[in-house]
Amino acid sequence: MALRPEYSMHHSEFNEFLFASIGIEKSGQDLTVLSAFARLGLDPWGEADRLSALSKDVAIGALAAMIAKLPRGDWKKSDTPSIAARLVNCLPRRRSLPARPQNTNGIDNQKPIFDVGKWPVWVAITAVVLIAIYSQYAA
């Protein structure tokens, strides 16, 4: 089964991000984002896709938290936000979803049809319907 294009090593839009260096490990090896995600048990391409869909500030915070979980290399814990900011700049940016339009008619269109706060009304309606049905068959 062939990989989808976004997960292909040669044509991935995430290559710049995934192969960017976080820093040098204590062993002297360069630690890439790809290696760091793999060590954390994360799907590198999935995480890159998820981070690219977030706002820049949220993505920086999420990536900094991941970097903080790694064993220290040539960076300090206090360096993680600046490292994350540098790396997030390598991500392709996604268009964010449009903001929810302002409601000008005073009706909340996101309210559920069945409002739990009005359960006595629903119980009364159900009782009336059941009584009407019962009275038809009882007669």
**Tell me, what DSSP letter sits at residue 91?**
S
Q: Please, are residues 31 and 24 in contact by the beta-carbon 8 Å criterion? A: yes
The dihedral through the CA atoms of 56, 57, 61, 67 has a sign that is positive
The whole-model pTM stands at 0.59
| The pLDDT value given to residue 80 | 83
DSSP state of 29: P
Residues contacting residue 83 through CB under 8 Å, at least 6 positions apart: 22, 23, 64, 67, 75
Averaged pLDDT in 10-residue chunks for the chain of 139 residues = 57 84 84 89 90 90 88 71 90 61 54 62 84 81
Residue ranges of the domains in the chain? 10-88
